[in-house]
Structures are given as C-alpha cells and as structure tokens.
Amino acid sequence: MSYLAVWLPQLPWQALRFQGELPAGPQLVLEAAGLTRQVVAVNPAALRRGLSAGLSEAQARLRAPEALAVARSPAAERQLQAWMQEDLEHSSDRCHWLPPERWLLDLEGMGLLGSPAQIARTLRARLRARGLQPALGVAATRTAALLAASGGGLWVIADPDPAPALAALPLEALRALQGCGMVGAGPSAPAARVPLVSRPAVTARGGVLAPTRGPHGPKSALRLAGAAPNSLPGGGPPCGITTTPEPEAGSGDPGSQPFAPILPAGKAARPPRADAEALLDLFARWGLRSLGEVAALPPRALAERLGRAGLACQRWARGQDQGLLLPAPPPEPPCELRQEFEPALEGYLPLLPWLEQKLGQHCAALERADRALAAAALELGLQSGSPWRWEQRWTLPHRDARRLLRQLETSLAMQPPAAPIAAATLRLVGAKPRRTQTGLFGDPAGQSQRLGRLLARLRELLDDPEGQRCGAARLQDLHRDDAFVVVPYQPSGSDASDAYEVAAPAPPEAVPCLRVARPPARIQLELRRLPAPDGVARPEGALCHLPRRPPERVLRAAGPWRSSGEWWTDGAWSRDEWDVELAHQQRFRLLYDRRARAWFLLGEYD
Amino acid sequence: MAGRQELEALLGARGWGTTLPAFGDAAAPRGRAPSDEALRRLWAEGPPPGAIAELVPAAPQAAGLTGAAMRLAARHTRRGGRVAWLDARDQWDPDSAQRAGVALEQVLWLRGHPALGGLAGLSRWHQILGVVVQSGGLELVVVDFLAWPLAELRRTPRSAWFRLLRGLERLRQTALLLLAPEPLTQSCAALVVAMGAPSPGARIEPRLLRQRVVGLRA
C-alpha cells in the first residue's frame, strides 16, 4: 500500500503561470481585502526576498519595490485544479482532491506504471513540463505522504513505518494536514482542554504540568507525578519528563483544574481549525519543535491533558492514518464553454467534433462530481450577425454525452445555420442526479420520474410553460376571494389501495361547492329599490341578467359580506358579496363592486 | 371475491374486460335494489378502477354534481390517493374543495384557458385525458365538461370513449368520473348517475340512470 501526495504551493501564482508566461523577478499575487490589497501568493524569487502570503501590498512594496503585482484569478485557479484532477487520474484511478492545492493518489494496483517512486518521478516531470512547480511525497500512509510532500521536492519514504523518517520534520509540517482538513478533526473538544501553561496546574492524576527548562536547551517539560522519567512508549527521544511529588488530586481546588473537560465528550465532533491552531501553538510553547518530539510524548499523559485531539495529533506526527479519508467533492465543471473559430466553419458538420469532445469531457466531469445535466443550450455566433440558438431542458437529469450530441446534431440538421459559424457557446446546467429505488420501502423505482414526465407532457399539451395551469392548488391566507397559488404537484407517495380505511377520516357531507367564473363576468341587475344611504344595494327581487340565461328574479339573497383591501395601492378593492337564489333552486354568488358601482357574477353553487 | 378478480384479470388480458357485470349487481344483497346497492358502493368506495362513471344533471338546471364529485375526490385524497381534476373551463374552486374535505396537495389540477376552446380544444382535452389515463399513477380522474357547449360534446366520436376505456381497462388502476350536461359515453360507462332534486324544494338526490350489466365485446 503506498500513496502519492501532490502539492502545488502558492497555487494562485502557479495558476497564473499555468495560464501563460510571467516575466522573471519577484512577483506578488494580490487580492482585495477591504480597502487594501493583500498578498495571497508569491513566486520563489519573492520568497527569497522575504515576501510571503498574508502581507499587505504596502508591506510587500516596502520590502521589494520592484516586485510585479498581479491580480488573483479564481477562474485560472479553477482551471488549473480541473486540469490537475484530470491529469492525475492518468496516474491513479483513485485520485482525491484535498482543496485547494493538494491531491492524494492511491497507487495500490498501479504496478504496470512502475514503482511508486517511478510514478512520482514521471508525474513530476510531466507537471514541470507544463511550467508547474509541484512537491511530491510517497509513503505507505496518506498522512505520511502528505507530510512528505510538504517538505518540497520529491520525497519517497520507503519504510512501511514512516515515523522515523518524519521525526526530523518541523512541527509546522502539521499545518499542511490542517490545510487539508485533517488536523483538528478529532472527536473531542481540545479548545476546552488546552491549558494555560504559564502557571502550574494540577492534573487529574495529581501531577503538575509546568514549563521547565530541559537539559538540552529552552524546552518545556512535562512533569508527571508517579511516572518514571523517560518512560516513553516506543522508545522515542526523551523530551525532559521528570516527576515531582505533589499533593493528592482531591486536595486541590476543583475549579483550578484546567484539564477538566468543559464540554461533554462527543459534543463537538469536529472542532474548528482555530482549535488545531491552538494545539500547535501549545506544542510550540511546550518547546516541541519537531514531529519526532510530538511522536515521543507519552500517550496517556497527552490524553489526560489534551484529550483525544492530542492523541490524534500525535498519530499524525507518527504518520499514522486515522479513519477513512473523506475527500472534498471534485469541482463542478464550468457551466459555459466558448470557442471561436478562425476561419469560420462552413456548415455545422465541422462543429460536431468540438461538441463531441467538450460534451464528453463535461459529462465525465459530471460523473466524477456525481452530478447530471438538467438543461443545455447552444448558441452559435454566425458571420451574418444573426444568432442561432438551441435549448433543451430535461425532466430527468442525465449525463449521457452521446444522447445530448445526437439531439444537437438533429437540431442542427433540421435548422442548419444560415451563415458560417464564427463562435459557439455551450451552456450546461448541472443538477442533482435522480435516484431510483434501491430499497424495499422507498419510492418505487421510476415512480417519481414517471410523474415528472407526465407533468412535463401535460404542461406541453396545455401550453403552460410557467406551470400555472398544471399543478396543485395551495390556498393563501388572504381576505380576497380566489386567493390561491398553483404549486408544482408533489403528492405524498402512499397508495390508496394500501391505505387503511379506518385511518381515513370521513369526508364531510355534501357542502355547496362554487363553480368560479374566472374572470368575474359583469352582469345587469335591475334593482327594485335604490341603494340605501349606507351604499348597500340589496338584490332581493331584482331582475338578474346572467350570461346565456333568460332574465330571472332573485328570490332570496344573503349578504352582504363586505370586504375591502389594498386601499393604499392602485389595486384597491371594495365590494359587497351576495349569495342569491333564483328559480329552480339555483344559487349564485354575486359581487357588487362599490368602487365601480357594478355587479359581477363570481360563481355558481353546484 | 379473489376468484372474481382473478377471472376479471384473465378476461382483461384477453381484451374482454367488460364481460362480467361491472358494478353493483353481483354484490347486491338480498332485499336491496341493485340500483341502491350501486349508488351505495359508489359513495362508499368511489368509482370502480378501470371503468367510466358519469354524473349528469337530472334536469337542465339541476345542481349538486360538483359537490358530489368533490365528495368522491375527498374520499380518495384522504386515503392518500392521487386525483387529477381536468377543469376544462377553469371553474374549480380550491377553497370549496378544501371545505369538502379534499386534500389539495393530492389533486393534480389541470386548468383550461380560453385558447383551449371549440372542437380543437375538446380534441386537446381528450389527448390530455388519454395521457393522464395511460400514466396509471392516479386513482381517480375527474373530467369536468359541465360548462362545455353541449353541441360540441355531442360531436365526440364514440371511438374516443372506447379508446379511453381500453386504456383504463388495461391498467385497472384509474377510475374516470365524467361530469357532463348529458350522458356522453353511452355503453362505455359502467355507471351513469343523474343528480337533482325530484321535486322543487326537495333535497338533491342521486338517481341511477344506467348501469352496464353484461356486454360481450371482442
């Protein structure tokens, strides 16, 4: 088992260099940070001049006035990351990206490409040929490979136990793992356990932790009550552990025990990175300078002081892997691909190879990212100036490049461009792929897909692209009549044939249901009496002229239900609603608009 | 009952889906009229899957059809069933439906619009109906043709209803409830119920107009 780690230090600068040649001399990559600009990457020449990321532009100018300042380009970085991902997959089929600038390759089973060291050398030569300056590390564990890569250059650790080889690395190397999201992923809350070591503190076992000066320089030392000096497991280098007799643990003030956990164990499953920083700072203040010194600490004493986070940090210092590697998802491929053709393409056939290549690459990238295509659009820039557009949206997202190419080819053949093609823009919209049932109790396989296809077909038949005439109604809590919205139809998945009869509440007895007239039809009402002084026009006995009906007298009327609203806008409404009964027990809902002084038919009760 | 279903399935596979008495007759208990039993089963269980039921007004101005259809839809949606409401004239009132007990989120509401009128519009609605029926994922499909001009409805070819019935019988999952000014599907309907008050001022009651008994079709 061996792993290869690839690191592209100063990625913003390398991305710009990957795009094109940069002149010699110190270079700074700047990014706006509030009102000022900040250095986010530098080249080796600038590093030698003492510049580094994190400086402000003014600070950098003071140190190297002649340095070339370049603006950061996130697009170039994304392009480099995508290219790296694609290129590294030629070396291993298990390539994980640890954003933003590290990649981890599992070389197991890649013997046909050579030994791990040979693969690493080949890869380094390939990357250097593209103008990149990678750092590579090969080791038996992922952690060791990443730590080896952080040293710069190419480092192959052939020993199955990488701890001795890593022992000389400075403590700062652990920050490389922190950048990958590995350090700080312990299961406990180290921030609550990190002690303030400026004063002696009583440990849970009655010992005292105090900074002391070790025999080999200004080192801190751990002094443990009851622990034999230099009794380190694994025979690591001594780091000045001595013991002094101290009072019993129970005799001290409990409140003065800084190692007592404030948070219960397991509360913080993934402490933030600031905690890991604090852990590394703590190690530095203890006088630990190398990974070997951290690896040699007694695990039990370390656990008592720092909890499981401390132990995790020690395992990383020994180059041991912990748990499964959970890499970040690969970047989603860009959604717009543009190509200009010089000279312009005559006809659409020469365009197809470009489409085939781009669609193949894009769909492969979508598959890696576990995404699919929801829509695609092709826009051709013709020499005549007139645009040629094609657009397709799928109910069921897919990533079948051949299918998409076939659809494009058919559309191009049916409506060929009228002039030579000068440019082509392909826009692809990603979506979450649709899952099918793999278990017993989920949605039956394809059920939701069939429903989606049905709704799409119905919208097409109803000429309803906005989905306002095909969907489920949802009532709105408004005083206005007919207050509802049409939302996408997403019924619950239960089947009526499987439901229990007893669980279903019985529907109410027959209630009068309204058949709504949309929009309300204006009608004539010949009132017997003039409206009252309060403005109420009573329709009893009035002669009602309804559409497509002979005039009839209103036998009974109930109302008015007065409502008004939005008087503060142009759409103000103020109306009286009446339920009236004509002959043959026909009942209608009428509306008297008091602003327009007109009668309308709102609907018929049926 | 299981034997009947098995036999129906076998007949359906041979294309003789309507050979057996479709609704009501076979299960009518002694002492009760078949028509009463059919109506009781209609309100209690809904229209039978794989069949067409029609609700028509007993008189030109009779009321109660929409309320009855909503009651049937409410029965389905309350059990989690999916219902499609083909509202050809855009007259369905969600507020009334909710008061009738319909679970709105279970109802697929297909609203007509003025452009979908005339014979062309009617043809389009039949197309929509065919798509909905053949999808097989809905338990009840209500088609509201009550406000559609009767002259145009009468021009619907009989073959359209037979084709629809074939689709229903093939899956035997969906029941079709048709609201129309008069019986349209003729022999394709398993049940035709007229709604109306028997006398002025009386309560609206359903009346069984026709029930398919035995129809041997190849």
A495·B71 Cβ contact <8 A: no
Cβ–Cβ pairs < 8 A, chains A and B? 160
Nearest CB among A513, A584, A587 relative to B66 is that of A513
pLDDT at B54 > cutoff 50:
yes
pLDDT at B83 > cutoff 90:
yes
Res A605: pLDDT = 87
Nearest CB among B100, B113, B139 relative to A507 is that of B100
Q: CA-nearest residue of chain B to A506?
A: B75
Res B94: pLDDT = 92
Give the mean pLDDT of B123-136. 90
pLDDT at A496 > cutoff 90:
no
**Rounded CA gap, A202 and A220, in Å?**
16
Cis? peptide before A343, omega within 30° of 0: yes
Among A residues 554-593, those touching chain B with beta carbons less than 8 Å apart: 584-587
More confidently predicted of A186 and A458: A458
- Residues of chain B contacting A585 with CB distance shorter than 8 Å: 63, 197, 200-201
Q: B104 at the A interface (CB within 8 A)?
A: yes
Res B214: pLDDT = 34
**Which two tokens mark A408?**
């494009």
Among B residues 126-185, those touching chain A with beta carbons less than 8 Å apart: 127-128, 131-132, 135, 137, 139, 146-147
Q: B68 at the A interface (CB within 8 A)?
A: yes
Find all residues with CB under 8 Å of A295, minimum gap 6, and list them: A163, A166, A167, A234, A236, A314, A317, A318
**Rounded CA gap, A26 and A65, in Å?**
10
Answer yes or no: pTM beyond 0.95: no
Nearest CB among B76, B105, B110 relative to A458 is that of B110
Q: CA-nearest residue of chain A to B75?
A: A507
**Rounded CA gap, A170 and A317, in Å?**
10
- Residues of chain B contacting A511 with CB distance shorter than 8 Å: 67, 70, 96, 99-100
**Rounded CA gap, A141 and A143, in Å?**
5
Nearest CB among A473, A605, A606 relative to B104 is that of A473
**Which two tokens mark B140?**
């009840």
**Rounded CA gap, A396 and A350, in Å?**
30
**Rounded CA gap, A119 and A363, in Å?**
28
pLDDT tens string A32-86:
877 788 899 988 888 888 888 888 888 888 888 888 888 898 888 988 988 898 8
Nearest CB among A491, A508, A586 relative to B100 is that of A508
A510·B75 Cβ contact <8 A: no
Nearest CB among A469, A497, A517 relative to B110 is that of A469
- Asked if residues A204 and A306 have their Cβ atoms less than 8 Å apart, the reply is no
Give the residue from B111, B124, B145 with the most A CB atoms within 10 Å of its CB, the best one to mutate: B111
pLDDT tens string A301-337:
989 888 888 888 888 889 888 766 655 566 666 688 8
pLDDT at A272 > cutoff 90:
no
- Residues of chain A contacting B99 with CB distance shorter than 8 Å: 508, 511, 513
Among A residues 246-285, those touching chain B with beta carbons less than 8 Å apart: none
What share of chain B has pLDDT > 90, as a percent? 29
Res A446: pLDDT = 56
DSSP-derived letter for residue A173 is: G
Nearest CB among A451, A458, A585 relative to B128 is that of A458
Residue entry with tokens 């443990």 = A224
Min Cα distance A400 → chain B (Å) is: 25
B93·A501 Cβ contact <8 A: no
- Asked if residues A81 and A330 have their Cβ atoms less than 8 Å apart, the reply is no
A585·B197 Cβ contact <8 A: yes
More confidently predicted of A508 and A566: A566
When pLDDT is cut at 50, 70 and 90, the band that residue B35 belongs to is low
Res B17: pLDDT = 59
- Asked if residues B167 and B50 have their Cβ atoms less than 8 Å apart, the reply is no
When pLDDT is cut at 50, 70 and 90, the band that residue B140 belongs to is very high
Q: B204 at the A interface (CB within 8 A)?
A: yes
What share of chain A has pLDDT > 70, as a percent? 75
When pLDDT is cut at 50, 70 and 90, the band that residue A237 belongs to is very low
Among A11-20, A423-432, B26-35, B147-156, the least confident range:
B26-35
Q: Which of A395, A433, A426 is nearest to A412 (CA)?
A: A426
Find all residues with CB under 8 Å of A8, minimum gap 6, and list them: A14, A80, A84, A101, A102, A132, A133, A134, A135
Res A82: pLDDT = 85
pLDDT tens string B94-107:
999 998 889 999 99
